[in-house]
Amino acid sequence: MSVLLALLRHASTDWNEAGRLQGQTDTDLSSAGAAAARTWRLPEPADRWKRMTSPLRRARRTAELLQPSRPATVDSRLREMSFGVWEGQTLADLRRRVGKAFLDAERRGLDFLPPGGESPRMVMARLALWAAEVQNDGQPVVAVSHKAAIRAALALATGWDMTDRAPIRLEWRALHYFAVESDGRLRLERANVPLQVAS
């Protein structure tokens, strides 16, 4: 029997707003991001599911603001992909400064590996272990995570190799539902389910 999980990207940070790669740099929500997260509400039935979050502050704070009365369990496997020495820089700066080496790295898809960082394939491996535990536990979960991590989950569920456009365009102020099958495989159930917004 499959178990559902829903992934939500954290609210905005100053680095998001500046277009900087955050990776595992432990940034906090911006004032605007925190204000937005306070208005977010999960749709039914996800509002009653178990909560989990990445250990990074921007994700933990989003989980706290989303529904303060429902504490979230921290799981390090939900953390963002590490961009190594490239964290804090913009893609435009990297393409200009690193040049061909960066463009070549981008073309590797799942094996894109920043110096000192992680590849999407590595992130997929830790997310697969986490999803298998969700399946074993048998309870549906809402987890606050990160953009590159959610893209890795999409790749895991669809077979996308990241060398071309994603099979579906993910919205980042929405829930993305996946089903974990009894054998641990991840399947995309429904993407881009809107959050409700408190008035």
Active site residues: 10, 80
User: What does the DSSP assignment read for 60-80?
Assistant: HHHHHHH-TTS--EE-GGGSP
The Cα 164–Cα 177 span in angstroms is 22
Burial class (CB in 10 A: 0-12, 13-18, 19+), 21: buried
Burial class (CB in 10 A: 0-12, 13-18, 19+), 198: exposed
